[in-house]
Structure 1
């Protein structure tokens, strides 16, 4: 009886523990290649990132963005957009397992 009461009283804790343990297991070194190198950007998302990256670079080159903090934000948008579209990888997409790329046929 004591064991059953323990698990009933700690059911939420056990569920959270299993969830966190599963997340940690997802980031083990064996999965780092998948986390950082797998292609997960494609289609409209790829086009969207490329266009916004190019527009941000053009805005910086044309001097449209005048204030210094905004220049850094626009430069970050440009770098992130072009970097993720060239590599076809987005690490924030990889963490929850989102992919907009077409799956390769084996």
Structure 2
């Protein structure tokens, strides 16, 4: 498999992009407002927030690339 395609090709779009952005923001808000109390859960929610926002900003999901899934519009 081509590494450029695996790590750089846009494969997130539409509803999937919106969903990732929303759950990333909600996870950050949960951390900021103190809704998550226990330490292990804070790390899990922080990871969820990071992955959601990271994949929505870059419009790329590596597991999607490995599985050959794309929700992005075809150019």
- Please give the TM-score of this superposition, normalised by the length of structure 2: 0.99
The runs of at least 4 aligned residues of structure 1 exceeding 4 Å deviation read: none
Name the SS for the 1:70 alignment partner.
helix
Q: Which runs of 5+ in 2 are unaligned?
A: none
Superposition RMSD on alpha carbons, in Å? 0.4
Q: Which has the larger radius of gyration?
A: 1
Equivalent in 1, 4, 9 of residue 38 of structure 1: 9
Query: Please, which of 33, 42, 66 is the counterpart of residue 62 of structure 1?
Result: 33
Greater relative CO, 1 or 2 (CA 8 Å, sep 6+): 2
Q: TM-score, normalised by structure 1?
A: 0.70
Q: Which runs of 5+ in 1 are unaligned?
A: 1-25
Offset, 1:56: 0.2
